[in-house]
Chain A
């Protein structure tokens, strides 16, 4: 069965610090997709990134970057120069042939001014 683990339940940092959210996954499939979603206090789920299992290139989008390492089954998310607006719950998720999205437990990130 597929599984996603976000070991950090809560993280609190001061604005402008860099912060990394960890995600470790388990799957038996060779083809799978990994996602990150942001859930701000308003409650909606905001898509951040999708990565397929054949593409191990790291990705950078502004202050956000993602490090995908198949060797360690990890898909970590880094926010550089964090801002108060980054405060949210962040979810890592895995989708494979099972046709559903399996979410990690989420990491609550608080950025303090």
Chain B
């Protein structure tokens, strides 16, 4: 059983399209996150949710909208995709805010390519 699963693993789409990436964790964690890894491998947080409540929104364009229907799911919807959105998006979860307890568990990533 995968602890943090993301779908799809690869996503190729045209500019201007709208797409979603789904994330589910079966660890019973309270907090979930989205991180973006750019072409230079730099990892930066985008959002965090704790028990379905938005905690961090890290200066991400409004075209990105996270949705957490329950604490086991955190989906990422992106409107009007741009070339610069091409990146690898990682979902993660932690038992508590900030990963103080047992750290973070990451999904395997979704490679988004906008053409």
Contacts and interface: CB of A to CB of B under 8 A. Distances in A.
Contact of B41 (A35, A89, A96, A100): A89
Nearest to A46: B106
Contacts of B43: 91, 103, 106
Interface in A81-113: 89, 91, 95-103, 105-106, 108
Contacts of B92: 101
Interface residues of B, number: 29
Contacts of A35: 99, 103-104
Interface of A: 33, 35, 37, 39, 43-45, 47, 50, 52, 89, 91, 95-103, 105-106, 108
25 contacts: A37-B106, A39-B41, A43-B108, A43-B111, A44-B108, A47-B103, A47-B104, A89-B41, A91-B43, A99-B55, A99-B56, A100-B33, A100-B48, A100-B56, A100-B58, A101-B35, A101-B92, A101-B99, A102-B45, A103-B44, A105-B40, A105-B41, A106-B41, A106-B42, A106-B43
